[in-house]
């Protein structure tokens, strides 16, 4: 089971449309529990790229 990247700092940035805490968009947040492990790993990779941007 892949743990959610939520860090309990939930605030959506109006410019990036990403959560300030976990760097996910609203669709990724809402659908997290329904994603497959492969999809979750993909989102985690996107988060890493977003950190670097």
Judged against a pLDDT cut of 90, whether residue 53 lies above it is answered with no
pTM score, whole prediction: 0.93
> How large a percentage of the chain has pLDDT more than 70?
100
What are the beta bridge partners of residue 18?
25
Q: Is the pLDDT of residue 41 over 90?
A: yes
Torsion of CA 39, 41, 47, 51, to 10 degrees: -160
Residue 22 DSSP one-character state:
T
| pLDDT of the residue at 34 | 98
Q: Using an 8 Å Cβ cutoff, are 24 and 47 in contact?
A: yes
């Amino acid at each position: 089971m892949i743990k959610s990247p939520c860090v309990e700092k939930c605030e959506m940035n109006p410019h990036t449309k990403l959560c300030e805490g976990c760097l996910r968009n609203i669709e990724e947040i809402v659908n997290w529990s329904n994603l497959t492990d492969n999809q979750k790993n993909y989102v985690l990779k996107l988060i890493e790229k977003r950190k670097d941007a």
